[in-house]
Structure 1
Amino acid sequence: MQKQTLVSTDWLGQHLRDHDVIVVDVRHNLADHEAGQRTYGFSHILGAHFVSVERELSGPRTGHNGRHPLPTMAGINKLLRRLGVTTDKIIVAYDDAGGMFAARMWWMMRWIGLYNCAVLDGGWQKWLAEHRQVSRELPHVPESDIHCFVQDKLRVDADYLLQHLGDRAAMQIVDARAPDRFRGENETLDPVGGHIPGALNRFFQHNLTGTGVFKSPGELHQEWTTLLGPREPATVVAQCGSGITACHNLLAMEIAGLHGAKLYPGSWSEWCSDVSRPVETGE
């Protein structure tokens, strides 16, 4: 499972009771922050642990670091110990939103050097449609003593973006938000509409088929290389509204064999909090 990205419902169904598999439920609603835990309490994949996007996959907010800043290393290690994570165990994350929140878990594990985390392709909906095992019981596992450290080569900050704006050879920003929000229209989550100058738009939902699973590696590779042209994937910086759906694009690039892109965790919600930073609207 080293450096994996996706697992199928068939795979998880076969390995659900394995002691080296840790299933995490990261269902979330951006408009109702407690909805994920409520739905988890009603029903979840057998043995799954609930992980809160707001409290455990995000850190303290200052008003200038975005809506979902990365958590502290102390907070991440606390979460991993609660889940019983060790370096030889496999983490499988799922949600009910096409993988957008599960991809955040996947990216964060890579950020701290754990490559044994994958997203459940098709998520909760596919699991239910196939009548697989669910439960209301809460799992109980011994805490681990794992201690990880961040790999900051996988992310960039606002100063990096400002330094490289306009230098297409060094950096290409790709915005994962819906096209209307990218253009600066219908903005309901952040106080300013628009996008970072020079950004391209790749709506994260375009990574999925009509049935909610990821497109094939070949199809994703063709679509992403059409968008990016001949540039090196390592020059790509993924962003979105708050650093969540950008991880979905990073996951899609990995599936496509395009490795090395980075995340701007603060994303638009951080960028637009400083009026001195430039903003573009339209296509």
Structure 2
Amino acid sequence: MRNVVTMKWLLARLYEPDMVIVDCRFQLGQPDAGRHAYEESYIPGAVHFDLERDLSSPVGEHGGRHPLPDINELVQKLGKAGIDRNVRVIAYDDQGGMMASRFWWLLRYLGHEQVYVLDQGFSAWKSAGYPVTNAAPPVRFPKTFEAQLHPEMLASVEDVRRASQEGTDVLIDSREAPRYRGEMEPIDKKAGHIPTAKNRFWKDVLGADGAWKSAEEQRERFGDLKEEESIIVYCGSGVSACPNVLALEEAGFQNVRLYVGSWSDWISYIHNPITNGDEDYRAK
């Protein structure tokens, strides 16, 4: 089964008892917008997880703008939401899968295999005439989520330095091209990218219709890479890199790590090198 499920797939299983739906809507710069959107309407049965309150920890000197959440706190929140490692979990958002992919990655990191992203997201679901509700949030029977961490899914700043300097891993920058090239930087304090990184904008995981591309199309996006290569993916703060991590897995790559701190962590170390321009040499 793919990591992405269609709206029809979810509709057919909407009320199955062994499934939990997670609303991950969030707007950067508008920290309450996702919660308000959820309160206005959501897919029946869905619980809400907020990027900054639930899926990240507070910002510090290092670690980037969206550091990993406290694992014990996240595990307790998952259990309270009725999630253990036996249920299927479907995450959705309204941001092209960016926030839902962060949730997907976190659950995979915690050892949960049956977690998926809903294709196209909430607005497409609603536009298709599928059911939504604004009833009081559902009360879930609490469960115990037993985490089994997978540290091999994480890349540290030291790993990224080594990859940049020695070529131990391929670095993938998931931000849009002008930010990668250092022509603009609307969020972080410094512009540019990590030396040797290739640019693969995360939104290119989607087709023109807003649906996730097929596994074959994802393989085309990363056609200059070899499946046996070690890959580290980053973005601005470790969120929009997650769709690329998912897409790489769809494409058959098995040695993929996420640099959670990403660019915002990299630039917090004054001696880390920065480069500008386009050094992304794709295979022709």
TM-score by length of 1: 0.95
Q: Which residue of 1 aligns with 2:282?
A: none
Secondary structure, aligned partner of 1:29 = coil
Residue 246 of structure 2 corresponds to residue 265 of structure 1 = no
Residue 272 of structure 2 corresponds to residue 280 of structure 1 = no
Secondary structure, aligned partner of 2:243 = helix
After superposing on structure 2, the runs of 4+ consecutive aligned residues of structure 1 that deviate more than 3 Å are none
Q: Which residue of 1 aligns with 2:109?
A: 111
Does the CA-based 8 Å contact 1:221-1:258 persist in structure 2? Answer: no
Secondary structure, aligned partner of 1:140 = coil
Q: Distance in 2 between matches of 1:6 and 1:142?
A: 26
Q: Which residue of 1 aligns with 2:61?
A: 63
Does the CA-based 8 Å contact 2:25-2:99 persist in structure 1? Answer: yes
Does the CA-based 8 Å contact 1:73-1:149 persist in structure 2? Answer: no
Q: Which residue of 2 aligns with 1:187?
A: 185
Q: How far does residue 162 in structure 1 lie from its aligned partner after superposition? A: 1.5
Secondary structure, aligned partner of 1:103 = helix
Which aligned pairs between 1:41-120 and structure 2 lie closer than 5 A? 41-120=39-118
Does the CA-based 8 Å contact 2:84-2:146 persist in structure 1? Answer: no
Q: How far does residue 26 in structure 1 lie from its aligned partner after superposition? A: 0.3
Q: How far does residue 125 in structure 1 lie from its aligned partner after superposition? A: 2.2
Does the CA-based 8 Å contact 2:163-2:170 persist in structure 1? Answer: no
Could you tell me which amino acid in structure 2 is paired with residue 139 of structure 1?
Answer: P
Bigger mean CA deviation after superposition, 80-89 or 236-245:
80-89
Which aligned pairs between 1:1-283 and structure 2 lie closer than 5 A? 4-137=2-135, 138-168=137-167, 170-226=168-224, 228=225, 230=226, 232-233=228-229, 235-283=230-278
Q: Deviations over 1:42-67 (max 9, x none)?
A: 01111110101001110122132100
Q: Distance in 2 between matches of 1:246 and 1:166?
A: 21
Q: Deviations over 1:9-55 (max 9, x none)?
A: 00100101001110000001011011000010001111110101001
Bigger mean CA deviation after superposition, 143-152 or 42-51:
143-152
Q: How far does residue 231 in structure 1 lie from its aligned partner after superposition? A: 5.7
Q: Distance in 1 between matches of 2:214 and 2:145?
A: 34
Q: How far does residue 164 in structure 1 lie from its aligned partner after superposition? A: 3.0
Q: Distance in 2 between matches of 1:64 and 1:87?
A: 31
Q: Deviations over 1:161-182 (max 9, x none)?
A: 12332323x2111000000010
Q: Distance in 2 between matches of 1:17 and 1:221?
A: 34
Q: Distance in 2 between matches of 1:276 and 1:37?
A: 39
Secondary structure, aligned partner of 1:174 = strand
Q: Distance in 2 between matches of 1:23 and 1:29?
A: 19
Could you tell me which amino acid in structure 2 is paired with residue 262 of structure 1?
Answer: R
Q: Distance in 1 between matches of 2:130 and 2:277?
A: 45
Secondary structure, aligned partner of 2:223 = helix
**Percent identical across equivalent pairs?**
35
Query: Alignment RMSD, CA only?
Result: 1.2
Q: Distance in 2 between matches of 1:37 and 1:245?
A: 20
Does the CA-based 8 Å contact 1:84-1:142 persist in structure 2? Answer: yes
Q: Distance in 2 between matches of 1:150 and 1:56?
A: 18
Q: Distance in 1 between matches of 2:108 and 2:50?
A: 18
Q: Distance in 1 between matches of 2:127 and 2:19?
A: 22
Could you tell me which amino acid in structure 1 is paired with residue 33 of structure 2?
Answer: A
Secondary structure, aligned partner of 1:165 = helix
Could you tell me which amino acid in structure 1 is paired with residue 151 of structure 2?
Answer: D
